[in-house]
Structure formats: structure tokens, C-alpha cells
Amino acid sequence: MFFSRWTMNPLLRTLNEMQHEVNRVFDRWGHNRYGVGEFPAINLWEEDEAIRLEAELPGMDLAGLELFVTGHNQFMLKGERKPLAVENAVQHRLERPVGMFSRMVTLPFAVDENRVEAKLENGILRVRLPKSEAAKPRKINIKM
């Protein structure tokens, strides 16, 4: 009787729905069930001729990664992080997320997708995305 009285209360049901919505908002801001931001963590910065991107991918190899440039200014990183295969052991803590992941980053300008370079070294993916010719500044001559 006590349980049904509380679950039938419209105010408590509304508060529960509000809490659920707030949790969904925080999930979209980069917090997930593991208590960490989106995987993988990405840094992005601009140089004169290119955008540089670094992503932390500990324990990953090239076979598990895919990189895409779409629409000239969208970068996508997809992959799968496989669980550690441990036989005859009791696992006490599993904090590293496993499974499929995908990150889409909108770049600040168009890039030349034919000249993109990527290297995975010591768990860090380094990507150089050269600016397209249209995105490079052009000097304009002033006539007198």
C-alpha cells in the first residue's frame, strides 16, 4: 500500500520525470555512465596551413579505427574498443568503456580531404587536416 501511494502521486511522478530529463541533458554534455567525457578525448587546434587533431586511444591499433572527412568540414572517428580477455580471473572493477564508439567534429573551415595525414603512435592518434585552397586567406591588391 505504501509503495503504490507514492508511485501514484502525480507530483512525485513529475519530479521523477524532471530528474530523468536533467540526467539526459548532462549525458549529452559529455558525461556518461562511466562518469567521464566522450571517448576518445580530442584536442583540436589551427595552424597556418592546417588543423591538427589529437585523440587519446590507449590500447587501440589501426585495425580497429576508421577516419572520414565528409562535407569538407566534418571529421569522423569510428572504432571499437575490445574488452580485455582475462581467463580464470575475477574482475573487481571495470571502468574503461568498451564497444563501438564514434566522434564527429565540425571543423572551423573546409579541408582538403585528399591530403589528410594520420598517424597512431603510443596510443595517440595525430591527424593533420590541410586547409582547402578556398579556406586560405588571399591577399587582395588595391588599385589606384
Q: Domain-by-domain residue ranges, the chain?
A: 1-31, 38-87+94-134
Q: What is the pTM of this model?
A: 0.66
Residue with grid cell 582538403, as numbered in its chain: 112
Residue with grid cell 569538407, as numbered in its chain: 72
Residue in 53, 82, 83 with CA at minimum distance from that of residue 69 = 53
Query: Top-level CATH class of 38-87+94-134?
Result: mainly beta
The single-letter DSSP state of residue 62 is G
91: amino acid identity, one letter: Q
What is the chain's pLDDT, residue by residue, as a tens digit (144 residues)?
A: 444 454 556 777 777 777 777 766 665 555 444 444 678 889 999 998 899 999 999 888 888 899 999 887 899 999 988 877 778 888 777 777 778 889 999 998 889 989 999 999 999 999 999 998 776 677 788 888
The grid coordinates listed for 44 are 583540436
